Amino acid sequence: MSAATAHEHAEAHGGHDDHHEHHDPFWKKYIFSTDHKVIGIQYGFTSLVFLAFGFFLMMVMRWSIAYPDRAVPLLADWPWFQAWLDDGGKVTGDLYNMFGAMHGTIMVFLGIVPLAFGAFGNYVTPLQIGAPDMAFPRLNMASYWLYLLGGALMFVSFFLPSGAAKAGWTNYSPLATTTDLHYGDLFWTGQTQWLVAMALLISSSLLGAVNFICTIINLRCKGMTWMRLPFFVWAMLVTGFLLLLAFPPLEVAAIMQLMDRLAGTSFFVPSGLNVSGMAFDAAGGGSPLLYQHLFWFLAHPEVYVLILPAIAIVAEIIPCNTRKPLWGYKTMVYAVMVLGFLAFIVWAHHMYITGMGPAISTFFQTTTVLISVPSVILITSLLISMWGGSIRFNTPMLFATAFIPMFGIGGLTGLPLAFSLPDLHLHDTYYVIGHFHYVVAPGTIFALFAGIYHWYPKITGRMMSSKLGHLHFWPSLIFMNGIFSPMFFQGMAGFHRRAFDGGKAYEQISQQIFAEPNTFFANIAEMLHVIDADAPLRMIDLNLVTSGSAWLLAVFQVPFIINLFLSVFIGKKVSSDNPWNATTLEWATPTPPPHGNFAKEPVAYRGPYEYSVPGAPRDFTPQFETDPSLTAGSEHDSEPSEEIILSAH
Amino acid sequence: MADAHELTKTKKSFAAVGIALLVFTVVTVTIGLAPIFDFGPPGPDGMDFVLGLAVATVKASLVALIFMHLNHEKGLIYKILLFTVLFATGLMVLTLFADIDPIREQFDTLQTTRGWLTEKP
Amino acid sequence: MEIPYEVTPRRDTGLYNAKLGIWLFLASEVMLFGGLFSAYVFMRLGIQDGVDNPWPWGVSVHKNFVWLGAINTIVLIASSVGVVFAWVALKERNWRRYQIYMYFVVACAVVFMCIKTVEYNSKLNHHHGIKLVDNSVMEGTILNKTDRISFKGEKLTFSLNGALPAVLRDLEGDAFPKFKVTEGPEGTVGVEIQSLSQFKGWFADSRRAASERLTEERKRFRGELAGGAANPKPVSVVSSVTLTAAEPFGLSGSPRKIVAHTETALNYKDGVKVEGKLVNDDVLFEVHEVDLQLVLPTKQRDSVVWSVINDEHAKQQFFTSQSKKYQELLEYYKKHGGVIPEEQLRGRFLNVQYVHVAAEGHEGEHGKEDKHADVHTSQSNPTAGGGEGEGKHGPSKHIAVARDKIKFMGNHGPRYGTYYAIYFTMTALHGLHVIGGALVLLFFVVFGKKLYLKNPEHLANRVEVGGLFWHFVDLVWIFLFPIMYLL
């Protein structure tokens, strides 16, 4: 650590002579970097890789659902799959469970949150507030490496004899506690490694959250008052608080479950538990419900961690491309704060069927319905922002525009789940899957694509191809809907999300017992519409629509990947530092921004979204430009006194 | 803080708090062990819990206010801590209420099993 | 490049970066321990009488440790005072005094951890309990680790698909038994294995070979299916092997890893079967205390525990003491005009009593007076261990408990019940915080001189921030001590 202190001084001096920076060895500049932009890019690449991997897992699962009686193509000869496919090369229940659990975990904790919060947050936030770097650059680096380590453990756990975790991404006890207990070395089982990896990821997020909040509160540049912060920064601040305060209870849950697995404690093991017909060897007296509470206390705010950065990215792109100010900026800021607050007291709406009493259910229903109000305010403000603008439909704007209805569908289909009565029917069906995937997949992921297309010129100095962008956008939009809209119908018909054969077993049973109507299975079969062979489209056939769309969606990500890598070399070079004619501070930096970001100390002279200001020479008036013709007429904006600059809200 | 007088004053208050904490520790142990705090029938006592936690809270506030000088800290930190404490309390209370629901308790079939002991030894 | 506000506070927020950072970190720590305290409350209040293990009454679990806990509280308070004085010393630019205070703080942390070790050691190695099939509980000490099943193995049967067999860890003695593969897939039969490393190598090779054979077979199977065969020959690959030892080898099997055992075989959880001969599976136990909280009062006299202890004197001792306490309760409630509430009747006060099972030949020493002495010790010192009372009562008899009478057993480690689980989790997590904090403070004093000479205010800030963390650790302990040790 004394070396680290010395390093810090070296770094402090390094900023003064550029000469020093050029001599940073490669590994220090690009691998163990403390520069928030490099770390942001590292986060970005790692999380994109994990997103692709998570998508791959899902495609295998979709095969099993669509064609439960056919061997998986291409994979049956891979050595790893030998242990997990059956003799005919079909997906087994174990494999489906493993992929299902890991798809959720990887997408949420290793894919989207790191991409939204880690990558965009890291790259953009300090630039937008005019800071030279994050408040704690080395902590920032540690945060990335902990994330990478956690991700690596998750990945490695696939190759353990036990395979990766299989108890769902929620890892509910006692199922998760009792899975894979027969392996000799309990530490190296997938289920245990999931917990260890989660502990690392949580630590990474905590470090990140502390860093973000600190940076936003303390490193705002001169003149950057609270109400001049771009909405993106506000969203990052609220997201930071969500991570900071919601993650520790999950860490507690992970520690307790780890103790349950390794030390044989009974935190989540109830008295008299039987596993496979045998009394489970533990003292008992614990509560599986406690785990669910601790888990959802994180996992509901986590939903907003997934959404808020997405809304924030869209809120940056829409004003820029409609050439109009963001409508209701202040309302949105207050809405996002209310949302952040309410996010902490809605968690048990995931647990209506655990036997919670009516009084507490009522409380959680009320807060859940309340939280839709700020969400609707945010989306409505974005929608109104577009009203009457002359919209530039470039690639980022296409994705941003699509985000609004997609997120809207996701949000509105959540309302029935907010009430305990319809939730009894819909719980654990494809309806739930459809609902949250609409929020996260065509919602958040579209916003993240939009962000990549939007900030790519700043990061690399070259534009991404617009043609490939269109080729990426339109099929993605179609197939995203092709995947998720059938799920609502299937879900309402009662399709269960964890059936690895997509309901095939019911069909077969129903054929055997067709002669006896009104039996249990016949009723279920009827409910699933699997009997009626004459129906034009049976519910179970929708499986094929969904799976087919999923594979085609994968195909149409290829243009994006090509675009992302090739544009670095052959993309059109940007002509200025501000190619989109945007107003926020990140466009004031040289392109790409150097270590230390700004060429001269930035000052914010006005609010973040001053587009088409009447009387201004151009249709945008950046935060960082002092404009004498404008300041004559307006109040105190040109050279604001210290007092005004520093007055924090 | 720089002036010497101020520092001497600070030192005195630190020492005083230290002594107060030691005294309260003795009080806590006494509450737990000494019979004078046994208000109810012989055997373990719920009252101890309330008293013990009250004393612990006083001690904790002393540490937070004086040692961690929250007493002259800026409002920002108060705001952060306020929300933190609010959410931590929410976690504790709501979790508990999910288990002991006032409406469900009236209909709880477990009630009958909970009171299964009727005979005396 | 210089990050602003590293040392001097920003004017509008009034904070330098590190201070804001540590307060945010402490906020997350509040949520961490908040979650743990929630778990504590949830589990303690969630106990269903007569179904779940009763929450042990803090003082009684910790009879020997209340004072250790109290001393630890004082140690931590002293260290907290030390940190603030160290900070003041830095503000006064007095390096020497700063050093003294900081080393004092670190020394306090070391003392704290030492005392903690004593506590843990005692719980883990000297206090055990056995719950019998009718939920009666005996507290005492398991002797010579005999909760393990002693077995003479001859044959090992296991599968080549899984991980290394867990049984390897239960082998007795240093010498690895000499094995010969007697059954298994072709190519492995007849191989002789002399050492553990050889075993591991052989296992890995055979596993790979088995997996390759499986791939081949499946390829053939799928090919036949695709070719339109109606009933292709099903895939069959031998992956189970049997190893026979040259001479019987000693095993002390951990009961946690064994599903079932008979006179001639042990079945491990991971599917490994050991054939041979059972040596002994009784558990040697020294009883200190009998706990009948989970047994109906009407059935207490016929409880399994009495047949296991097989000592009429001890049984009498229990019930004499119980009825005496019952009288006490009765008197109290008569005086205050009420009926004894259920929880009192079900509670620890009446249903947990110290008993002494005297070793052969010491029976005579116990007169009537002695019995009352027992009752008194049990009352003023309701005890889980009772180890120190032993001297007064002469040596105890070691009873052998048949394994089929045992429902659950273990030391007073985290496994033993939810109280122990949360006690160990919280104190261990707190201990980790103590260690971490002490290391950081140690770093500030050992390597701080350079920074002190360059910018003493920066060092003072660091110590303030480190101190804030340290006070938080103290603050957590202030709550942990009463809820874990006293109440």
Which residues is C192 bridged to in the sheet?
C180
B83 contacts in chain A (CB < 8 Å)? 241, 245, 341
B103 contacts in chain A (CB < 8 Å)? 357-359
User: How far A244 CA lies from chain B's nearest CA (Å)?
Assistant: 10
| Chain A contacts in chain C segment 210-249 (CB below 8 A) | 211, 214-215, 217-219, 221-222, 225, 234-235
Which residues is C241 bridged to in the sheet?
C158
What sign has the CA pseudo-torsion A5, A8, A13, A14?
positive
* Helix residue spans in A323-429 (DSSP H): 329-342, 358-386, 395-412, 415-418, 420-426
Question: CATH 1.20.120.80 spans which residues of chain C?
Answer: 17-127+415-486
Identify whether residues B60 and B85 lie together within a single domain.
no
Tokens linked to A59: 């495609």
Query: What integer pLDDT is reported at residue C384 of this predicted model?
Result: 37
Report residue C171: phi and psi, to 5°: -65, 140
The whole-chain average pLDDT of chain C stands at 85
C348 pLDDT band (50/70/90 cuts)?
confident
Buried b (16+ CB within 10 A) or exposed e, C233-259: eebebebbbbbebeeebbbebbbebbe
Query: What integer pLDDT is reported at residue A2 of this predicted model?
Result: 40
As a whole number of angstroms, the distance between CA A604 and CA A224 comes to 5
pLDDT tens, position by position, A89-99: 899 999 999 99
Q: What is the mean pLDDT of residues C55-81?
A: 82
B64 within some domain = yes
Helix (H) or strand (E) holding C37: helix C17-45
pLDDT tens, position by position, C271-305: 889 999 998 888 888 888 888 888 888 888 889 99
Query: What integer pLDDT is reported at residue A357 of this predicted model?
Result: 83
Query: What integer pLDDT is reported at residue B1 of this predicted model?
Result: 45
As a whole number of angstroms, the distance between CA A350 and CA A302 comes to 13
| Chain C contacts in chain A segment 229-258 (CB below 8 A) | 244-249, 251-253, 255-256
State the DSSP code for C301. Answer: G
B121 within some domain = no
A293 contacts in chain B (CB < 8 Å)? 91, 94-95, 98
A565 pLDDT band (50/70/90 cuts)?
very high
Residue of A nearest to B95 (CA): A293
User: How far C342 CA lies from chain B's nearest CA (Å)?
Assistant: 7
Do A359 and B83 count as a contact with CB atoms less than 8 A apart? Answer: no
As a whole number of angstroms, the distance between CA C405 and CA A489 comes to 55
Identify whether residues B83 and B69 lie together within a single domain.
no
A118 has a pLDDT exceeding 50: yes
Q: What is the mean pLDDT of residues C324-343?
A: 83
CB contacts < 8 A (B, C): 180
User: Between the CA atoms of C117, C118, C119 and C120, what dihedral angle is there, to the nearest 10 degrees?
Assistant: 50
Residue of A nearest to B98 (CA): A356
- Compute CA distances A281 → A508, C305, C482, whole Å: 38, 20, 31
Do B67 and C467 count as a contact with CB atoms less than 8 A apart? Answer: yes
Q: For tokens 């053939």, what's the residue?
A: C220
Please give the CATH architecture assigned to the domain spanning A35-273+281-570.
Up-down Bundle (1.20)
- Decide if A467 contacts A570 (C-beta within 8 A): no
As a whole number of angstroms, the distance between CA A233 and CA C44 comes to 43
Helix, strand or coil for residue C291? Answer: strand
Task: Identify which has the larger pLDDT, C430 or C13.
Answer: C430
A246 contacts in chain C (CB < 8 Å)? 31
A510 has a pLDDT exceeding 70: no
C84 contacts in chain B (CB < 8 Å)? 14, 67
Task: Identify which has the larger pLDDT, B44 or A584.
Answer: A584
B56 contacts in chain C (CB < 8 Å)? 478-479, 481-482
B66 within some domain = yes
Burial tier of B114 (Cβ tally within 10 Å: 0-12, 13-18, 19+): middle
* Helix residue spans in A15-113 (DSSP H): 18-22, 26, 36-66, 79-82, 93-105, 113
Residues 6+ apart with CB under 8 A from A211: A134, A135, A136, A139, A140, A143, C21
As a whole number of angstroms, the distance between CA A378 and CA A383 comes to 9
As a whole number of angstroms, the distance between CA C48 and CA C61 comes to 20
Residue of C nearest to B4 (CA): C92
Identify whether residues B24 and B80 lie together within a single domain.
no
B partners (3+ CB pairs within 8 A) are: A, C
Residue of A nearest to C217 (CA): A87
Query: What integer pLDDT is reported at residue A529 of this predicted model?
Result: 57
Question: Which of A290, A297, A358 minimises the CB distance to B101?
Answer: A358
Identify whether residues B93 and B37 lie together within a single domain.
no
A532 has a pLDDT exceeding 80: no
B97 contacts in chain A (CB < 8 Å)? 357, 359-360, 363
Q: What is the mean pLDDT of residues A267-288?
A: 88
B27 and chain C in contact, CB less than 8 A: no
- Decide if A143 contacts A182 (C-beta within 8 A): no
Number of Cβ atoms within 10 Å of the Cβ of A534:
6
A646 has a pLDDT exceeding 60: no
State the DSSP code for C396. Answer: B
User: How far B91 CA lies from chain C's nearest CA (Å)?
Assistant: 7
User: How far A408 CA lies from chain B's nearest CA (Å)?
Assistant: 28
Do C2 and A132 count as a contact with CB atoms less than 8 A apart? Answer: yes
Q: For tokens 């819990």, what's the residue?
A: B49
Query: What integer pLDDT is reported at residue A513 of this predicted model?
Result: 58
Across A75-84, C69-78, C388-397, C400-409, least confident range: C388-397
B120 within some domain = no
Residue of A nearest to B107 (CA): A357
Task: Identify which has the larger pLDDT, A626 or A512.
Answer: A626
Across A259-263, B15-19, C481-485, least confident range: C481-485
Identify whether residues B93 and B105 lie together within a single domain.
yes
A230 pLDDT band (50/70/90 cuts)?
very high
C46 and chain A in contact, CB less than 8 A: yes
User: How far C68 CA lies from chain B's nearest CA (Å)?
Assistant: 11
Pairing of strands C240-253, C258-261: unpaired
User: How far C336 CA lies from chain A's nearest CA (Å)?
Assistant: 35
C61 pLDDT band (50/70/90 cuts)?
low
Query: What integer pLDDT is reported at residue B28 of this predicted model?
Result: 87
Q: Mutate which of C48, C55, C66, C84 to test chain B, going by most B C-beta atoms within 10 A? A: C84
User: How far B30 CA lies from chain A's nearest CA (Å)?
Assistant: 31
Query: What integer pLDDT is reported at residue A143 of this predicted model?
Result: 96
As a whole number of angstroms, the distance between CA A2 and CA A102 comes to 41
Query: What integer pLDDT is reported at residue A108 of this predicted model?
Result: 95
The whole-chain average pLDDT of chain A stands at 88
A80 and chain C in contact, CB less than 8 A: no
Residues 6+ apart with CB under 8 A from C334: none
Residues 6+ apart with CB under 8 A from B72: none
Query: What integer pLDDT is reported at residue C145 of this predicted model?
Result: 66
> Is the domain covering C17-127+415-486 a CATH 1.20.120.80 domain?
yes
Query: What integer pLDDT is reported at residue A9 of this predicted model?
Result: 43
A521 has a pLDDT exceeding 80: no
Identify whether residues B63 and B81 lie together within a single domain.
no
CB pairs under 8 A, 24+ apart, for A524-529?
A524/A494, A527/A493, A527/A494, A528/A493, A528/A494, A528/A495, A528/A503, A529/A493
Tokens linked to A397: 């704007």
B116 and chain C in contact, CB less than 8 A: yes
Residue of A nearest to B100 (CA): A357
State the DSSP code for A275. Answer: E
As a whole number of angstroms, the distance between CA C10 and CA C19 comes to 11
Identify whether residues B55 and B91 lie together within a single domain.
no
User: How far B55 CA lies from chain C's nearest CA (Å)?
Assistant: 9
- What is the end-to-end Cα distance of chain A in Å, rounded? 37
Task: Identify which has the larger pLDDT, C133 or B74.
Answer: C133
B87 and chain A in contact, CB less than 8 A: yes
Identify whether residues B14 and B27 lie together within a single domain.
yes
Angle subtended by helix axes C456-481 and C17-45, to nearest 10: 10
B99 contacts in chain A (CB < 8 Å)? 287, 289
User: How far B17 CA lies from chain A's nearest CA (Å)?
Assistant: 30
- Decide if C115 contacts C75 (C-beta within 8 A): yes
B86 and chain C in contact, CB less than 8 A: no
Across A613-627, C188-202, C382-396, least confident range: C382-396
Domain total for chain B?
2
Identify whether residues B49 and B5 lie together within a single domain.
yes
Number of Cβ atoms within 10 Å of the Cβ of A7:
15
Which residues is C273 bridged to in the sheet?
C157, C267
Identify whether residues B5 and B49 lie together within a single domain.
yes
Across A178-187, A590-599, C46-55, C106-115, least confident range: C46-55
User: How far C487 CA lies from chain B's nearest CA (Å)?
Assistant: 6
Q: Mutate which of A360, A363, A647 to test chain B, going by most B C-beta atoms within 10 A? A: A360
The angle formed by the CA atoms of residues C173, C175 and C177, to the nearest 5 degrees, is: 105
| Chain B contacts in chain A segment 278-297 (CB below 8 A) | 287, 289-290, 293, 297
Q: CA A467 from chain center: how many Å?
A: 27
A474 has a pLDDT exceeding 70: yes
Identify whether residues B68 and B92 lie together within a single domain.
no
B82: containing domain: 74-115
Identify whether residues B65 and B94 lie together within a single domain.
no
User: How far C361 CA lies from chain B's nearest CA (Å)?
Assistant: 33
Q: What is the mean pLDDT of residues C37-63?
A: 79
As a whole number of angstroms, the distance between CA A519 and CA B104 comes to 33
A92 and chain C in contact, CB less than 8 A: no
Query: What integer pLDDT is reported at residue A637 of this predicted model?
Result: 44
C393 pLDDT band (50/70/90 cuts)?
low
C361 and chain A in contact, CB less than 8 A: no
Tokens linked to C360: 């052969």
C27 and chain A in contact, CB less than 8 A: yes
Do C27 and B33 count as a contact with CB atoms less than 8 A apart? Answer: no
Do A87 and C234 count as a contact with CB atoms less than 8 A apart? Answer: yes
Q: Mutate which of C77, C101, C294, C474 to test chain B, going by most B C-beta atoms within 10 A? A: C77
A403 pLDDT band (50/70/90 cuts)?
very high
